[in-house]
Amino acid sequence: MKCPVCGHHKMVKKILDETLSYGNQSLTLHEMRGEFCPSCGEGVWDVESYLRYTETQEAVVRSGRGDVSARACGRKGIGGSNPTT
């Protein structure tokens, strides 16, 4: 894979821990997999890690805002509403 930022010809596969923070809330995701550029440091998560990251990011932001509602998250769309139910 070529780096999407600097164009370096070879990304390096790595498994890393990633900490997400918002306000006074933080959470560490372990064993996040992706490919990273040795030249500029840019990274691209694999699909599973990307989904974990985005879902956790939404939860951390909601928690930081004081909204811990389960309906505000999920794969049904933003706000968790599902017009078919």
The pLDDT > 70 percentage for the chain reads 79
Q: State mean pLDDT over 6-32.
A: 93
d(CA 12, CA 68): 37
Average pLDDT estimate for 38-50: 96
69 band by pLDDT with thresholds 50, 70 and 90: low
Q: What fold, for 12-80? A: Ubiquitin-like (UB roll) (3.10.20)
**pLDDT surpasses 70 at 35:** yes
Q: Give the closest residue to 29 by CA, choosing from 4, 5, 13, 46.
A: 46
Task: Report d(CA 55, CA 22) in Å as an integer.
Answer: 14
